[in-house]
Amino acid sequence: MAKITFITTDNEHIVVEGESGSAMELAVQNGVQGIDGDCGGVCSCATCHVHVAEGDVAKVGPASEIEQDMLELDDNVTERSRLCCQIDVSDELDGIVLHVAG
Amino acid sequence: MSKSALPDPFQDARNTKGFGTVNDQDDPVTMVLGLKDVRKCAHNWKTFQSGGEEVGRIVVPSEQAIRDTRQIPFEVDPPQHGDYRALVEPWFKRPLEDEYKARLATIIDELLDEVLAMDSVEVVEEFSLKLQSRALTLLLNIPYQEAEVWIGWGTHVFRSDDTALDAGKANILYDYIDQQIEKASNQPGDDLYSVLLASEINGKKLTKEEVKGVMILTFAGGRDTVINAVTNTIAYFAEHPQSLARIKAEPEITGKAVEELVRYFSPLTHMGRVVTEDTQVCEHAQKAQSRISLCWASANRDERVFENANEVVIDRKINPHVAFGFATHNCLGATHARQILHILLTALADKVTAIEILDHTDNIEDWDEFKRKVGFDALTVKFN
């Protein structure tokens, strides 16, 4: 079981819990504002953009090349940007914090 | 050759020079073909604009000659685009609500039951057109019976059998929308016309012309695209019953299947932009005021990004397709279209064991050097 905290652009903190699936799916199930996941998680719509908290980057890992190509054209991209549909939930992610990019 | 396959006519041009050229009513269009190039141009709305002064010119073939109403928010660029988009977006996200899904499922179930009882069905007219029209009553939130009027118009709003741009047919739609706006203005309800008429942007009420612009887009944008997607889906499952069996056995892949079918079909081949400054596209000089188009159909077969790009991989996990466009002007109706396909796949898997293709006429688009099969003009099948 992993606890993941989403922080929205309105600074609302939402803690979600899960064992499998993607961080995007957990966010959508829990109504996290700003995470839409329109394409259902196939890296097509870029509506699940997050910035991984500084201390959690190593835990989450880097974006794949295809994901980087998508992020490259996003206005709010930083070196800690990820599409959270591509972040698989596992025990190792327990405690991470993801900021909704907005 | 498989009847349901949609070949990729852009491959050579995409790999050798990255673009193609179409002569559209003596106003040439440079088609951008590679996925990364398409995404970059789509993202760069300042250089490749949608909201130019000449209304209808970004559409290919250009509709300048047959309309002067600006389609909204499609033909408006930032920052005004954001205001319009914010206004209409919540309404176009309603297909995510449970009640909407349930009503859509009822429409699709009833239609499937109808065609399952028939000896043969011409899918385009007797299934896809009906489905699209009936589903649209949900999107507009108006009485179900209204679908009969639109079914009577046939499959194309702007096209007839002998011409790609039929002003007479377009005027039927425009006159109809004008009448509906007047009706809603006199007797407001909870339909999209009334909601738009009551809306404000920056403290100013939307004009009837602006409401008409949103409504034309809603009717035109989701008509042959959805009809093609639904018809192609039926043809695909006719020839790939194992894929239908997988969706029945593994319903959790349905969302991925929808995205993959939309990638493969790419119901809208391309969409144009007007160039605002002298620039380059794929190392090709592009003059200010000329036109480019973003070829979604070609980008979606780019083998530099998609493995087995010309095959339907029904559970494709990474699928960065652009079938609903990309960036600022991505498809407003995508949520509705995705929900239609999702429910259709579920219903087909539940009710249908086999589909047999009895007859078919391909719908081939002619883009000069490229001839693209986008779907079917007619497809007769037997559902079992």
Span B105-151, pLDDT tens digits: 999 999 999 999 999 999 999 999 999 999 999 999 999 999 999 99
Q: How far apart are CA B63 and CA B55, in angstroms?
A: 8
Does the distance separating the beta carbons of A43 and B319 come in below 8 Å? yes
At B11, list the tokens: 């491959």
By Cβ distance, the residue of A42, A69, A73 closest to B256 is A42
Q: What are phi and psi of B352, to 5 degrees?
A: -115, 135
User: Is the CB of residue A78 less than 8 Å from the CB of residue A49?
Assistant: no
Give helix then strand counts, H and E, for chain B. Answer: 15, 12
Sign of CA dihedral B349, B351, B357, B359: negative
**Shortest CA gap A51–chain B (Å):** 19
Q: What is the pLDDT of residues B286-311, one digit of tens each?
A: 999 999 999 999 999 999 999 999 99
Please tell me the predicted confidence (pLDDT) of residue B66.
Answer: 86
User: Is the CB of residue B49 less than 8 Å from the CB of residue B311?
Assistant: no
Does the distance separating the beta carbons of B320 and A70 come in below 8 Å? yes
What is chain B's pLDDT, residue by residue, as a tens digit (384 residues)? 699 999 999 999 999 999 999 999 999 999 999 999 999 999 999 999 999 999 999 999 999 988 899 999 999 999 999 999 999 999 999 999 999 999 999 999 999 999 999 999 999 999 999 999 999 999 999 999 999 999 998 887 666 556 666 777 788 899 999 999 999 999 999 999 999 999 999 999 999 999 999 999 999 999 999 999 999 999 999 999 999 999 999 999 999 999 999 999 999 999 999 999 999 999 999 999 999 999 999 999 999 999 999 999 999 999 999 999 999 999 999 999 999 999 999 999 999 999 999 999 999 999 999 999 999 999 999 999
Q: How far apart are CA B264 and CA B310, in angstroms?
A: 7
Please tell me the predicted confidence (pLDDT) of residue B154.
Answer: 86
Closest alpha carbon within chain B to A40: B255
B265-300: b (≥16 Cβ within 10 Å) or e? bbbbbbbbbbbbeebebbeeebeeebbbbbbbbbbb
Closest alpha carbon within chain A to B319: A42
Confidence of residue A102 (pLDDT cuts 50, 70, 90): confident
Please tell me the predicted confidence (pLDDT) of residue B167.
Answer: 75
Q: Is B317 on the interface with A (CB under 8 A)?
A: yes
By Cβ distance, the residue of A42, A70, A73 closest to B317 is A42
Please tell me the predicted confidence (pLDDT) of residue B155.
Answer: 81
Distances (CA, A) of B267 to A97, B39, B59, B225, B233: 39, 18, 15, 5, 11
What pTM was estimated for this model as a whole?
A: 0.96
Q: Is B24 on the interface with A (CB under 8 A)?
A: no
Each domain of chain A, given as residue ranges in start order, spans 2-100
Query: What is chain B's length?
Result: 384
Q: Is B346 on the interface with A (CB under 8 A)?
A: no
A23 CB-side CA count, 13 A: 33
Q: What is the pLDDT of residues A27-80, one digit of tens each?
A: 999 999 999 999 999 999 999 999 999 999 999 999 999 999 999 998 899 999
**CA B285 to chain CA centroid, nearest Å:** 30
Of 1.10.1200.10, 3.10.20.30, 3.20.20.10, 3.30.70.100, the CATH number of A2-100 is 3.10.20.30
Q: How far apart are CA B281 and CA B336, in angstroms?
A: 33
- Chain B residues lying within 8 Å of A86, measured CB to CB: 318
**Shortest CA gap A40–chain B (Å):** 6
Closest alpha carbon within chain B to A47: B327
Average pLDDT (A94-102) is 95
Q: How far apart are CA B247 and CA B257, in angstroms?
A: 8
Confidence of residue A8 (pLDDT cuts 50, 70, 90): very high
Q: How far apart are CA B321 and CA B7, in angstroms?
A: 17
E strands, chain A, in order? 2-7, 13-18, 49-52, 81-83, 97-100
Task: ipTM value, please give it.
Answer: 0.94
**Shortest CA gap A85–chain B (Å):** 10
DSSP output for B240-299? -HHHHHHHHH-GGGHHHHHHHHHHHH-SS--EEEEE-SSEEETTEEE-TT-EEEE-HHHH
Does the distance separating the beta carbons of B43 and A39 come in below 8 Å? no
Does the distance separating the beta carbons of A41 and B258 come in below 8 Å? no
**Shortest CA gap A69–chain B (Å):** 8
Give every CB contact of residue B185 below 8 A, 6+ residues apart in sequence.
Answer: B197, B208
Does the distance separating the beta carbons of A73 and B335 come in below 8 Å? no
Q: How far apart are CA B13 and CA B365, in angstroms?
A: 17
**Shortest CA gap B17–chain A (Å):** 21
Segment holding B327, helix H or strand E: none
User: Hey, what domains does chain B have and what are their CATH numbers?
Assistant: 11-383 (1.10.630.10)
Pairing of strands B271-275, B291-294: antiparallel
